[in-house]
Amino acid sequence: MYTQGLDQKDKPAAAGQGTETPEQLEAFQARIDAEEKIEAKDWMPEAYRRTLIRQISQHAHSEIIGMQPEGNWLTRAPTLKRKAILLAKIQDEAGHGLYLYSAAETLGVSRDQMVADLLNGKAKYSSIFNYPALTWADIGTIGWLVDGAAIMNQIPLCRCSYGPYSRAMIRICKEESFHQRQGFDILVSLCNGTDKQKAMAQDALDRWWWPSLMMFGPSDKDSKHSAQSMAWKIKRFSNDELRQKFIDVTVPQAEFLGLKVPDDKLAFDESTGHYRHGEIDWQEFLDVLAGNGPCNRQRMAKRCKAHDDGAWVREAARAYATKHTAKHAA
Ligand code: BYC
């Protein structure tokens, strides 16, 4: 069984690292260039398999950890309707995690191994989920910005060269669109409400704007995996390209809400048709990745506890499976 270790993850993947012949690599690249989907049983370079396991498992972990900041508000949603919507959204995130773990399993890694890598800190999850959801406006802002950034990043993944991942992404993106709309809808209500509600929305935007931009990953010059992942058509756009697209669509939405994006350097550039923006604090990003964000420890402690608390469910499922197999073998 394939195991993902830190030693392997630290190195960017490159074609030709395994025992593959140049002819095999060339034939594989020709399939990619012809926009053929690579399926689970097809031959693939070891580095391609490793890159996908890294990305898909990190994506799955993000969905699962991402349930925490919103779960924190389930008991305090302002109305029954908002509560039902939030509950459905969080359940969707769990579903996304499961489709993604299944997609990664087709590459020969076990779910137990992926979960172990998350719990022992080897595997990453998205930096964004290490920030706290302090007010109800944060729930709106997570839907609007975090799911909005997720859609921007994930729509191109529907065209990823690896079939099982690309197909999982189609359903995920449909659900993410509803998530983004529900978040924006919360903010529309708050921004049309009292001064205090509008101030709460502005405060949430102030805190979530820059971390949302960091979701797209390091700038292109520092992105160690992008070049190879784009050559393999796993990624279709670079981190900076997607970040720019996100800024371009989101700034007018903030204006519609009557909110101010917390970036004094933000300005529309007529000559390029894009917004220019201020410098991202990459040190903050690196600190969060190193485990020192505001909520990293809390998120991991909660995930580890949930895993331990669920041990009896896994045990019961295993016992049932053993009985079921024995019954059908008899
Ligand atoms: N946070 O070479 P790069 C969601 C890491 S879930 C943490 O550019 P790559 C949602 C990167 O992994 C959102 N780590 O990498 C859920 C790499 O480290 P390793 C998650 C980050 O892979 C619930 C190193 O930095 N979405 O939307 O080419 C509720 C160098 O980066 C981050 C996905 O996972 C980050 N933000 O590009 C609501 C989408 N950024 O692995 C919403 C799928 C970078 O070498 N993933 N790193 O140790 C991707 O598209 C790509 O993996 C990324 C990074 C664009 C994220």
CA 161 to centroid of chain Cα atoms? 18
Looking at residues 291-309, what average pLDDT do you find? 97
* Cα(238)–Cα(251) distance, integer angstroms: 20
Q: Is 224 in the pocket of ligand 1 (CB under 6 A)?
A: yes
Q: What local confidence, expressed as pLDDT, does residue 16 receive?
A: 59
Q: Select from 6, 225, 246 the residue to mutate for testing ligand 1; criterion: most ligand atoms less than 8 Å from CB.
A: 225
**Nearest atom in ligand 1 to 89's CA:** 29
Q: What local confidence, expressed as pLDDT, does residue 2 receive?
A: 35
Q: Is 93 in the pocket of ligand 1 (CB under 6 A)?
A: yes
Locus of tokens 């509008």: 198
Q: What local confidence, expressed as pLDDT, does residue 330 receive?
A: 76
- Say if residues 44 and 38 touch (Cβ distance below 8 Å): yes
Quick: pLDDT tens for 109-167: 999 999 999 999 999 999 999 999 999 999 999 999 999 999 999 999 999 999 999 99
CA distances from 163 to 40, 115, 157, 322 (A): 8, 23, 10, 32
DSSP character string of 191-251: HTS-HHHHHHHHHHHHHHHHHHHHTT-S-GGG-SSHHHHHHTTS-SS-HHHHHHHHHHHHH
Q: What local confidence, expressed as pLDDT, does residue 122 receive?
A: 94
Whether the predicted pLDDT of 320 surpasses 90: yes
- Say if residues 293 and 127 touch (Cβ distance below 8 Å): yes
Q: Would you place residue 7 in the very low, low, confident or very high pLDDT band (cuts 50, 70, 90)?
A: very low
Q: What local confidence, expressed as pLDDT, does residue 284 receive?
A: 98
Whether the predicted pLDDT of 88 surpasses 90: yes
Q: What local confidence, expressed as pLDDT, does residue 19 receive?
A: 84
**Nearest atom in ligand 1 to 143's CA:** 38
* Cα(270)–Cα(40) distance, integer angstroms: 46
CA 276 to centroid of chain Cα atoms? 25
Q: What local confidence, expressed as pLDDT, does residue 196 receive?
A: 98
Looking at residues 186-211, what average pLDDT do you find? 98
* Cα(55)–Cα(73) distance, integer angstroms: 29
